[in-house]
């Protein structure tokens, strides 16, 4: 029993440490840009009140709070109707551009964290590079390719006298030869020599799912390790591409979540506290590079979710500033307070609904690995 409690505490500590890094980075963005525009940051908090610990540095209180859900920076005069002691240092009295930049600073900070995380990963694991050749990287048992003698490492040169230089062209040629005897020219290298061979094979017309007509896995890329001094720059470039690609996937995922919520259903494919902590523990065991890569993925998720114009997310503050600019007047203080409170309650209810679904699934799975498999299916 003691061992189980200790394991749970260790998993919880890892999860809090991981998420705290993301939250601190996000809130630090708000903090720094607010300071730049002369806004008084009254408090920088990790978690939500009530407070567990607090320490004042300069004019700002830094706090650790009991509810381990997110974090916040408390800006002086953050919403309409708040008592303002220093009008020139109040958020609500700053210009619209300044308020928008302060509101979006956390999102930008998370994108920067993701960019740096992916840049570090690619600097260490290398980057994919097109070779202009098609190489066989796997041959399934009992398939036409295995029967006629294809082996891992063979380089495909031609399919029925047509040269192939990419996986796309190879697949297209093989697809056009289904059910027909086909001559495939390859190069096979051994320790002593490289020889050309011609192998006759008949691609299957109706192959099993996931195998393809021949039953081979192919690649036209290799992992490239640049000189050490170039790696940060190349890693940064691929990091930016990965950030954009991940962002697109997150946006598509959010549309799916919105569809489920509009139908009154708990969104599919979403994870709550149990799922997030299980994923963190699972990736943590894989080593530092997978963990840094996961940090980048979660950071982008956090950034894009905060762009959603739903209170109390950052996007809602930008929306209110836009409404103010359009109508030429600020939202009534009482209405603003009700909107933010209602939004927070709905988000917490959604989180509790997801958690209620995850708890029995976690116990049913029996282990973190099994639980993670149910999440990623």
Structural domains in the chain plus CATH codes: 2-125+232-376 (no CATH), 128-224 (2.30.42.10)
pLDDT recorded at residue 122:
87
pTM summary value: 0.78
Q: Tokens 């830094």, residue?
A: 62
pLDDT for residue 87 is more than 60 = yes
Give the pairing type, strands 182-189 and 155-159. Answer: antiparallel
What residues contact residue 97 under an 8 Å CB cut-off, 6+ apart?
Answer: none
Which whole number is the average pLDDT over 77-91? 85
Confidence band of 266 (pLDDT split at 50, 70, 90) = low
* Count of C-beta atoms within a 10 Å radius of residue 252: 9
Give the range among 144-153, 172-181, 330-339, 364-373 with minimum mean pLDDT.
Answer: 364-373
Q: Tokens 């950030």, residue?
A: 243
- Largest alpha-carbon pair distance within the chain? 85
> H or E stretch including 296?
helix 288-307
| Under 8 Å between Cβ of 218 and 149 | no
Q: Which of 99-103, 112-116, 235-239, 338-342 has the highest mean pLDDT?
A: 99-103
Confidence band of 7 (pLDDT split at 50, 70, 90) = confident
* Backbone dihedral angles phi then psi of residue 121, each to the nearest 5 degrees: -60, -50
């Amino acid at each position: 029993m003691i061992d189980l409690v200790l394991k749970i505490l260790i998993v919880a500590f890892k999860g809090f440490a991981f998420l705290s890094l993301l939250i601190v980075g996000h809130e630090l963005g708000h903090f720094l840009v607010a300071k730049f525009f002369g806004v008084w940051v009254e408090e920088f908090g990790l978690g939500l009140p009530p407070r567990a610990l607090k320490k004042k540095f300069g004019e700002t209180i830094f706090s650790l709070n009991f509810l381990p859900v997110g974090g916040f920076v408390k800006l002086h005069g953050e919403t309409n109707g708040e008592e303002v002691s220093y009008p020139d240092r109040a958020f609500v009295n700053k210009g619209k551009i300044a308020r928008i930049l302060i509101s979006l600073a956390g999102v930008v900070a998370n994108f920067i964290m993701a960019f740096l995380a992916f840049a570090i990963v690619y600097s260490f694991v290398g980057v994919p590079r097109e070779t202009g050749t098609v190489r066989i990287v796997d041959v399934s048992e009992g398939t036409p390719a295995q029967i006629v003698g294809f082996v891992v490492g063979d380089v495909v040169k031609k399919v029925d006298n047509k040269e192939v230089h990419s996986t796309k062209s190879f697949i297209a040629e093989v697809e056009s030869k289904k059910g027909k005897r086909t001559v495939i020219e390859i190069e096979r290298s051994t320790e002593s020599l490289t020889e050309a061979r011609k192998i006759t094979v008949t691609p299957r017309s109706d192959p099993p799912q996931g195998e393809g007509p021949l039953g081979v896995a192919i690649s036209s890329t290799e992992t490239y390790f640049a000189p050490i001094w170039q790696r940060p720059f190349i890693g940064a470039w691929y990091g930016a591409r990965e950030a954009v690609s991940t962002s697109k996937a997150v946006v598509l995922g959010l549309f799916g979540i919105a569809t489920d919520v509009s139908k009154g259903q708990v969104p599919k494919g979403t994870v709550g506290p149990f799922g997030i902590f299980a994923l963190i523990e699972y990736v943590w065991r894989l080593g530092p590079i997978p963990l840094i890569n996961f940090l980048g993925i979660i950071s982008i998720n956090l950034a894009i979710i905060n762009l959603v114009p739903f209170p109390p997310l950052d996007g809602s503050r930008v929306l209110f500033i836009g409404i103010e600019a359009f109508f030429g007047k600020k939202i009534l203080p009482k209405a603003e307070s009700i909107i933010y409170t209602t939004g927070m309650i709905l988000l917490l209810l959604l989180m509790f609904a997801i958690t209620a679904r995850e708890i029995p699934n976690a116990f049913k799975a029996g282990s973190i690995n099994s639980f993670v498999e149910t999440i990623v299916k």
